[in-house]
C-alpha cells in the first residue's frame, strides 16, 4: 500500500497551484504582463467555483479587448497537466475566470493530514523566523485591570500565540509605568494612609484603585475651586460656570467615596491638611526619577503590590509574560539621556522657553518619511516636548529609549497600544529614524485597537468609573453557571462550577477578540453568552458535541474510506477543515487574531449543521468510520484554532 503524503497546508497548495497556472497563462497570452501578481477571491456561491479571478475586468482595457474575450484567450493557454487540486477552469461573464476544486480529494487530504499531524495541524512554520517582542497590557499601576485593558491583553496574548506557532521566537513584555505624575500622586496618597489601605479579602490593585480615585478627587476639587475663584475675580462668569459643572462632578465622586469608605477619605483629608498636594507630588516625581532612596522605598513596594493584583487576574485568564520591564530602570540607565543628546545633535530639536521640543513634523517632511510611516499628506505631525520645565522627562521621551531597549533582543517589535496613542507612536518612530535606527523604526509596529463600550456608561479610570476585569469575570462565571445548569443539569455540581469558570473566561475573551481590532466593541451579555451563535459558548458547545460522539465510539478512526463522504454538509465541513492552515498563515502575516475567532465560529456553524443532519454512530459501519474520521479532524482543527486565541476547549458542557 502506497503511503499518502501529509499536506501541511492543502488549501494553500490549491491557491498556489491556481496562482501558478493563471500566471503562466496570462504571461503566455500577453507577454507584456510578465511579473503579473494574480489576485484571487472566493466567489459568493459554489456555483461559481471555489476561487475566482476578476483581473480580466481591469486588464482588458489595457490591450483593447473585452474582458470576456481576454478571459477566453487566457483560458485557451491554461495548462492543467500535473495539477493536483484543480478540477477545471470556466469563464463566466463579464470576464471572470472561475476555478473549480477537486473537492473530494481536498477533503480526503485535509482530514488525513489533520489526523496525522494532530497538535501540529494548521501551524504552518515560516521559513524566515524572527525574534519578535510583543509588548501588551502594560496597565498603569493605579487601579485594577479594566475591560478596556483586557482587550489589549487578549489581543496581545493571541498575537504572541499565533506568531509563536508560526515559528518565530516571541518575547512577551509588560512595561511597568512606574514613573510619572500619576504614580507620584498615588504614592503621595499612600504615604499618608500607609498599609491600612490594604484589607483582608480585597485585592491590592482594587484597593489602590480606590485610593487613586480618592486622591484624584481631592486634588481636583481643590484645583477647580481655586480656578472658579480666579475666573470670578476676573469677571469671567461664563467660564467659571463651565468649571463649576466639572467641579460638581468631582464633588459627587467625593460624596460616593465618603459613602463607601469614610475612613480612607478622612485619613487623606487629615494628611493633606493645608499643604499643596501638587508641590509634594512634583517633588516626589523628581526624587523618584533621579533614584532618591526615600522615594524609591515608597514607590517600588506600592507598585509591586499593584502588580501582584495584576498577576492574579492575568493568571485567571491564562496570560503570562516573559519580562516585566520597569520604566524606572530605563530612566535610571543612561538610555534616556543618550536619546535626548542624540536628538539635540540631530538638528531637529528647538528650545522654547528653555524646554527642548523635537520637531517631528519637520523631520517627517525633510527625510521623506510619510509613505514609509503611512502618514496622510493632510496630517501635520506636531512637535514633541521632550522635558518638563523642571527637567523631568515625559512619557514619550522615555518610550524612545525603551524602544531601543526592546530592539536589543528583537528583529521586530509589536506595541499593542490603543488607537488614541497613534500620534505618540508615530513620534517615537520618527525619533528612531532621526537617531539613525532606520531598520528599527521600520520594524516597530503599532497594533492599535478601539474602545470597549457599555451602553449608557462612560468610563474614566481617574474618576473610578470603570469595569474591572475581575468583576466582569465573576459575573460571566455566574451567568455561565446558570446556562450550563439549564443545558446539562445531570453534570455534578462541582464539575458544572469548573465548566462555568472556563466558559465565563472564554466568553469574555472571544467577545473582545472577535471584533476587528480597529472597531469599538459594544459589550452586551446577550451576545457574549449566546449559546446559539457567534460566541465562545456556541463554539465550545460544538466541540463538546464532537467529543461526545468520539467518546461513545467503539473504534478509533484508523481504517476509513473518505470517498464515502458525499453529502454537501460532509464536504463543506471537510473543506472548512482544509482551510485552517491558510487562515492561520494569513492571520500571522496580517496580525489579525480576529480572523481566527471568525474562523472558529464558521467551523462550529458548519459542524452543528452536519451534526443535526447526519448521524455518525448510527450510520452503517463503513460510513460511520469515515464520519468518525471527519469528526476527529474537526476536533483537532477546532482545538488548535481555539488555542491560538487563548481558549482551551471543553470535552463536555
Q: What pLDDT, in 10s, does the model give residues 494-551?
A: 999 999 999 999 999 999 999 999 999 999 998 998 888 899 999 999 999 999 999 9
Of 383-387, 419-423, 453-457, 633-637, the least confident: 453-457
Instruction: List 465's β-bridge partners, or say none.
Output: 460
- Which residues, 6 or more positions from 560, have their beta carbon under 8 angstroms from its beta carbon? 622, 625, 626, 628, 629
pLDDT in tens, 553-610: 977 777 899 999 999 999 999 999 999 999 999 999 999 999 999 999 999 999 999 9
d(CA 507, CA 67): 48
Is the pLDDT at 1 greater than 50? The verdict is no
Asked if pLDDT for residue 484 goes beyond 50, the answer is: yes
Predicted confidence at residue 448, as pLDDT, reads 97
Most distant pair of Cα atoms in the chain: their distance: 97
CB–CB of 459/466 below 8 Å?
A: yes
The secondary structure element, H or E, covering residue 155 is helix 147-165
Distance CA 592, CA 445 (A): 13
* pLDDT score of 67: 97
Mean per-residue pLDDT, 259-281:
93
What's the pLDDT at 544? 96
Name every residue whose Cβ is closer than 8 Å to that of residue 522 and which is 6 or more positions away in sequence. Answer: 453, 454, 455
- Say if residues 604 and 533 touch (Cβ distance below 8 Å): no
> With respect to CATH, is domain 10-101 assigned 3.30.1360.70?
yes
pLDDT tens-digit series, residues 545-562: 999 999 999 777 778 999
- For residues 427-447, average pLDDT: 97
Query: Mean pLDDT of all residues in the chain?
Result: 94
Only one residue has cell 494553500, namely 12
The owner of cell 524646554 is: 355
Q: CATH for 469-644, among 3.40.190.10, 1.10.260.40, 3.40.630.30, 1.10.730.10?
A: 1.10.730.10
DSSP letter, residue 273: T
pLDDT over threshold 90, residue 459: no
pTM given for the model: 0.94
Give the start-to-end residue ranges of the domains of the chain: 10-101, 131-178+327-453, 181-309, 469-644
594 close to 513: Cβ distance less than 8 angstroms: yes
Closest by CA position to 311, among listed 155, 153, 132, 477: 153
Overall average pLDDT of the 166-191 stretch: 97
Residue 207 has pLDDT above 70, yes or no: yes
Residue 348 confidence (pLDDT): 97
| 3-state SS string for 212-260 | HHHHHHHHHHHHHHHHHHHHHHCCCHHHHHHHHHHHHHHHHHHHHHHHH
Q: Considering only 61-70, 282-291, 304-313, 462-471, which range has the smallest mean pLDDT?
A: 462-471
Positive or negative torsion for Cα 607, 608, 613, 619? positive
Give tens-digit pLDDT for 209-246: 999 999 999 999 999 999 999 999 999 999 999 999 99
CATH superfamily of 131-178+327-453: HUPs (3.40.50.620)
DSSP letters spanning 313-356:
HHHHTT---SEEEEHHHHHHSSHHHHHHHHHHHHT-EEEETTEE
Are the C-beta atoms of residues 544 and 608 closer than 8 Å to each other? no
456 pLDDT band, cuts 50/70/90, is confident
Place 2 in a pLDDT band, splitting at 50, 70 and 90: very low
Amino acid at each position: 500500500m502506497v503511503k499518502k503524503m501529509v499536506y501541511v497546508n492543502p488549501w494553500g497548495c490549491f491557491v498556489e497551484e491556481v496562482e501558478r497556472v493563471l500566471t503562466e497563462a496570462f504571461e503566455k497570452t500577453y507577454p507584456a504582463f510578465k511579473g503579473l501578481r494574480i489576485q484571487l477571491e472566493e466567489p459568493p456561491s459554489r456555483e461559481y467555483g471555489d476561487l475566482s479571478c476578476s483581473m480580466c475586468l481591469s486588464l482588458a482595457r489595457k490591450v483593447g479587448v473585452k474582458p470576456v474575450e481576454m478571459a477566453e484567450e487566457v483560458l485557451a493557454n491554461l495548462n492543467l497537466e500535473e495539477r493536483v487540486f484543480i478540477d477545471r477552469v470556466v469563464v463566466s461573464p463579464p470576464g471572470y475566470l472561475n476555478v473549480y476544486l477537486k473537492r473530494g480529494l481536498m477533503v480526503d487530504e485535509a482530514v488525513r493530514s489533520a489526523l496525522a499531524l494532530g497538535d501540529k495541524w494548521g501551524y504552518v512554520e515560516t521559513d524566515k523566523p524572527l525574534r519578535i517582542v510583543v509588548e501588551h497590557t502594560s496597565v498603569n499601576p493605579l487601579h485594577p485591570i479594566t475591560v478596556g485593558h483586557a482587550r489589549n491583553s487578549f489581543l496581545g496574548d493571541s498575537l504572541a500565540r499565533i506568531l509563536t506557532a508560526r515559528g518565530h521566537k516571541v518575547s512577551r513584555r509588560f512595561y511597568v509605568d512606574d514613573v510619572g505624575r500619576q504614580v507620584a500622586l498615588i504614592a503621595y496618597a499612600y504615604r499618608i494612609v500607609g498599609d491600612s489601605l490594604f484589607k483582608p479579602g480585597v485585592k491590592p490593585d482594587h484597593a489602590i484603585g480606590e485610593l487613586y480615585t480618592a486622591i484624584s478627587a481631592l486634588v481636583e476639587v481643590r484645583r477647580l475651586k481655586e480656578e472658579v475663584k480666579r475666573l470670578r475675580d476676573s469677571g469671567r462668569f461664563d467660564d467659571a460656570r463651565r468649571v463649576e459643572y466639572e467641579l460638581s462632578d468631582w464633588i459627587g465622586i467625593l460624596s460616593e467615596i465618603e459613602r463607601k469608605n469614610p475612613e480612607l477619605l478622612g485619613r487623606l483629608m487629615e494628611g493633606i491638611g493645608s499643604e499643596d498636594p501638587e508641590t509634594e507630588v512634583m517633588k516626589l516625581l523628581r526624587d523618584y526619577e533621579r533614584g532618591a532612596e526615600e522615594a524609591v522605598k515608597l514607590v517600588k513596594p506600592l507598585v509591586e503590590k499593584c502588580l501582584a493584583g495584576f498577576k492574579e487576574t492575568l493568571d485567571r485568564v491564562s496570560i503570562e509574560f516573559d519580562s516585566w520591564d520597569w520604566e524606572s530602570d530605563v530612566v535610571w540607565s543612561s538610555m534616556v539621556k543618550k536619546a535626548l543628546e542624540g536628538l539635540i545633535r540631530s538638528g531637529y530639536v528647538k528650545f522654547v522657553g528653555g524646554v527642548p521640543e523635537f520637531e517631528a513634523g519637520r523631520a517627517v517632511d525633510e527625510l521623506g518619511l510619510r509613505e514609509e510611516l503611512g502618514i496622510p499628506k493632510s496630517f501635520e505631525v506636531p512637535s514633541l516636548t521632550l522635558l518638563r520645565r523642571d527637567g523631568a522627562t515625559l512619557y514619550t521621551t522615555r518610550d524612545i529609549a525603551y524602544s531601543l531597549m526592546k530592539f536589543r533582543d528583537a528583529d521586530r517589535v509589536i506595541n499593542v497600544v490603543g488607537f488614541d496613542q497613534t500620534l505618540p507612536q508615530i513620534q517615537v518612530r520618527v525619533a528612531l529614524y532621526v537617531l539613525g535606527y532606520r531598520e528599527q523604526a521600520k520594524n516597530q509596529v503599532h497594533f492599535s485597537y478601539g474602545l470597549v463600550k457599555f451602553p449608557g456608561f462612560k468610563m474614566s479610570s481617574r474618576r473610578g468609573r470603570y469595569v474591572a476585569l475581575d468583576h466582569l469575570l465573576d459575573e460571566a462565571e455566574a451567568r455561565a453557571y446558570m446556562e450550563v445548569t439549564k443545558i446539562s443539569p445531570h453534570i455534578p455540581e462541582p464539575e458544572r462550577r469548573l465548566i462555568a469558570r472556563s466558559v465565563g473566561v472564554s466568553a469574555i475573551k472571544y467577545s473582545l477578540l472577535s471584533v476587528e481590532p480597529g472597531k469599538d466593541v459594544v459589550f452586551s451579555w446577550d451576545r457574549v453568552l449566546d449559546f446559539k451563535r457567534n460566541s465562545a459558548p456556541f463554539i465550545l458547545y460544538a466541540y463538546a458535541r464532537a467529543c461526545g460522539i468520539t467518546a461513545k465510539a467503539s473504534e478509533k478512526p484508523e481504517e476509513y474510506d473518505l470517498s464515502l463522504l458525499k453529502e454537501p454538509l460532509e464536504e463543506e465541513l471537510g473543506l472548512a477543515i482544509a482551510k485552517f492552515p491558510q487562515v492561520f498563515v494569513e492571520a500571522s502575516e496580517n496580525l489579525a487574531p480576529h480572523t481566527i475567532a471568525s474562523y472558529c465560529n464558521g467551523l462550529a456553524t458548519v459542524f452543528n449543521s452536519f451534526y443535526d443532519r447526519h448521524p455518525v454512530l448510527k450510520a452503517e459501519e463503513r460510513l460511520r468510520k469515515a464520519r468518525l474520521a471527519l469528526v476527529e479532524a474537526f476536533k483537532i482543527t477546532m482545538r488548535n484554532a481555539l488555542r491560538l486565541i487563548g481558549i482551551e476547549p471543553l470535552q463536555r458542557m
